[in-house]
Amino acid sequence: MNILSKIVDAKKLEIAALYEQHELQALRDKCLEQSANTPNRTPLFYQALAKARKAGQPFFITEFKRKSPSEGWINQHADLPAQLNAYTRSGAGAISVLTDTGFFGGSYDDLLLAAETLRQHDPERRPLLLQKDFILDPIQIYLARLHGADMILLIAAILEAPSSIF
């Protein structure tokens, strides 16, 4: 079994635990309410790319991760706000925050802290916040949004046929 298969198997167990903690429809409703109360909260990815291109600036995505399955802990006690502020000063167009706990040492708390940190920046210059995880289920998407993610990463190799919930 390769590492991706191990991560996906572990993620399926995490998703089952998420369903024990949260009700999917309630999360969906919170996301809809949040969107209704904060119109235009999130700049669109393509708009951000076009803006950088028009300005002749590169658009790059930086990453915050605490550990790696192959290397172990690499940033266990990193100061997430300080790191994100450094990425922002360096001109990052987006910042990826890993939320997988078991293999990468991240969490939804990291994502929320990242969102709070980035909200302190000028909205015109604020990087987009990308949640990086192994997304297999809508519950993860709603939790990403409620914890401040502007976008999520989907890994095509692990996705199954879409369900009607999407």
Interacting residues of 22 by C-beta distance below 8 A, sequence separation 6+: 139, 143
CATH code of the domain occupying 3-158: 3.20.20.70
Residue 22 is predicted with a pLDDT of: 96
Separation between Cα atoms, residue 8 and residue 43, nearest integer Å: 30
Residue 78 is predicted with a pLDDT of: 92
Task: Return the amino acid letter for 149.
Answer: A
Mean pLDDT of 152-165: 80
Mean pLDDT of 96-125: 93
Residue 159 is predicted with a pLDDT of: 87
The pair of three-digit structure tokens given for residue 4, joined into one six-digit string: 């991706």
Residue 135 has pLDDT above 90, yes or no: yes
pLDDT digits over 50-88, tens only? 888 999 999 999 999 999 999 999 988 999 999 999 999
Mean pLDDT of 100-120: 95
User: Does the predicted model carry a pTM greater than 0.85?
Assistant: yes
Which of 11-15, 32-36, 154-158 comes out lowest in average pLDDT? 32-36
Cβ atoms of residues 97 and 114 within 8 Å: yes
- Tell me the domain boundaries of the chain: 3-158
pLDDT, mean over the chain: 91
The DSSP-derived string for the chain is: --HHHHHHHHHHHHHHHHHHH--HHHHHHHHHHHHHHSTT-S--HHHHHHHHHHTT----EEEE-SEETTTEESSTT--HHHHHHHHHHTT-SEEEEE--STTT---HHHHHHHHHHHHTS-TTTPPEEEEES---SHHHHHHHHHTT-SEE---GGG-----TT-
Mean pLDDT of 123-130: 89
